[in-house]
């Protein structure tokens, strides 16, 4: 191997790669050497090129492995960062959602309290106006308000009952609408049974409210002042007469089996007997109370035994209201037992709509034209 070839090989081993320098070396080799030297140089060049290709291939593989390793590590770090960010974002969204729910519930609670306060203020103002009118009426008749003892006073128990009853009516209207939709959509008996039980519990709540109101002022409950005028027309001891409602509503629950008709008819007769017994008791109580306050029995400004007797008989009125409501509640429970779930739903829907129509009739009557009233009176 000549000097030129040695120089070429040593430069390749040293890792030096200069294309221009190598071209000049090849030109000198072709000029100075013969054909044999050309063959040797060519073989050397081929060997060197193979080594160079192997070296480049190894370097490329090392570089690719390095890049791939760095890329995998970067992807893992990015995935960990992404997962952590996603968890944090999810936690933030959940916290924001809970905060919105708490804020919404708080706002609803404030709005409900505000409405109750406004309604209570209206009730108090109305009661004061009524008391003022009564006081002026009694004074105009020559009676002093001090003799009445109740002029200008407000019964907090009755005020609370009126507010609760207003809310009860709103809930009943919502339940009636929901029940009507459920019956028309033919939902399953399980879902329908849940709605029916909710309405039954709603009536139980009404009877409990009336019991508390009767303790506060039994005359208010028995007089039906908390009901509309048309409802008061059918009033019986502070509420509806069960037997009369059965006569109206049971036929609407058809088709019924023979056993169901027999049980409903028996329930109607039992209600009539209980109603007659309570009515007779009320008549006897009224007579006894009339005797207690008859001429010469009570002396104004004095406390005598007859006054205690009269007060005891008035307290017995609370018991009559509770017994009448118990009969009403038992009537609903017995119809729930006699009818199927879907029939009970229809029965309760008809019951609710019955009272809705009475309230609507009262409103129409109150807003009737005065000319119509005069025409009716003339005829």
Query: Looking at the structure, do residues 88 and 201 belong to the same domain, yes or no?
Result: no
Which residue segment(s) compose the domain that 353 sits in?
155-378
Residue 180 CB partners (closer than 8 Å, separation 6+) = 349
How distant, in Å, are the alpha carbons of 67, 94, 221, 228, 349 from that of 359? 84, 47, 17, 6, 15
Contact by Cβ (8 Å): 43, 12: no
pLDDT in tens, the chain (379 residues): 444 444 444 444 444 444 444 444 544 544 444 444 444 444 555 555 565 555 545 455 554 545 445 555 556 666 777 888 888 888 898 999 888 898 888 888 888 888 888 888 777 777 666 555 544 433 333 333 333 334 445 688 899 999 999 999 999 999 999 999 999 988 899 999 999 999 999 999 999 999 999 999 999 999 999 999 999 999 999 999 999 999 999 999 889 999 999 999 999 999 999 999 999 999 998 888 887 776 655 555 555 666 777 777 788 899 999 999 999 999 999 999 999 999 999 999 999 999 999 999 999 998 888 765 555 555 5
Domain boundary among 94, 116, 141: 94
Q: How far out from the chain centre does Cα 197 lie?
A: 16
Considering only CA atoms, which of 318, 232, 311, 243 is closest in space to residue 282?
318
Query: Looking at the structure, do residues 159 and 90 belong to the same domain, yes or no?
Result: no
Query: Looking at the structure, do residues 167 and 51 belong to the same domain, yes or no?
Result: no
pTM over 0.95: no
Domain-located, residue 238: yes
Query: Looking at the structure, do residues 266 and 185 belong to the same domain, yes or no?
Result: yes
Domain-located, residue 331: yes
Query: Looking at the structure, do residues 210 and 353 belong to the same domain, yes or no?
Result: yes
Domain-located, residue 26: yes
Which one-letter DSSP state was computed for residue 251?
Answer: G
Domain-located, residue 112: no
Domain boundary among 94, 118, 138: 94
Number of domains in the chain: 2
Report CA dihedral (365, 367, 370, 374) to the nearest 10 degrees.
0
Beta strands in the chain (DSSP E): none
Domain boundary among 94, 118, 143: 94
């Amino acid at each position: 191997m000549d000097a030129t070839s040695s120089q070429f090989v040593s430069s390749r081993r040293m890792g030096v790669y200069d294309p221009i320098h190598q071209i000049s070396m090849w030109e000198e080799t072709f000029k100075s050497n013969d054909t044999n030297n050309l063959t040797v140089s060519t073989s050397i060049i081929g060997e060197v090129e193979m080594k160079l290709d192997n070296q480049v291939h190894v370097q490329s593989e090392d570089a690719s492995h390095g890049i791939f390793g760095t890329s995998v590590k970067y992807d893992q770090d990015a995935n960990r960062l992404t997962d952590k960010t996603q968890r944090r974002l999810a936690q933030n969204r959940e916290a924001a959602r809970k905060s919105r729910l708490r804020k919404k519930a708080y706002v609803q609670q404030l709005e409900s309290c505000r409405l109750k306060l406004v309604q209570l203020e209206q009730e108090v103002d109305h009661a004061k106006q009524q008391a003022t009118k009564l006081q002026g009426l009694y004074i105009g008749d020559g009676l002093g308000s001090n003799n009445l003892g109740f002029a200008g006073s407000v019964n907090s128990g009755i005020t609370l009952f009126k507010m609760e009853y207003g809310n009860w009516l709103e809930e009943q209207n919502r339940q009636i609408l929901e029940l009507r939709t459920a019956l028309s959509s033919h939902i399953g008996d399980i879902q329908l049974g849940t709605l029916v039980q909710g309405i039954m519990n709603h009536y139980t709540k009404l009877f409990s409210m009336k019991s508390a109101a009767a303790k506060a002022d039994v005359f208010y409950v028995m007089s039906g002042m908390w009901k509309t005028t048309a409802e008061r027309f059918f009033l019986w001891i502070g509420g509806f007469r069960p037997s009369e409602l059965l006569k109206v509503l049971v036929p609407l629950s058809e088709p019924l089996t023979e056993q169901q008709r027999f049980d409903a008819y028996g329930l109607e007769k039992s209600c009539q007997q209980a109603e007659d017994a309570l009515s007779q008791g009320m008549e006897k109580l009224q007579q006894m109370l009339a005797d207690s306050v008859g001429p010469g029995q009570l002396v104004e400004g004095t406390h005598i035994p007859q006054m205690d007797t009269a007060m005891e008989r008035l307290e017995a009125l609370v018991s009559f209201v509770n017994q009448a409501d118990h009969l009403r509640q038992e009537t609903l429970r017995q119809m729930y037992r006699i009818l199927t779930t879907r029939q009970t739903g229809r029965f309760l829907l008809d019951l609710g709509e019955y009272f809705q129509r009475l309230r609507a009739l009262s409103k129409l009557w109150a807003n009737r034209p005065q000319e119509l009233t005069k025409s009716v009176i003339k005829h």
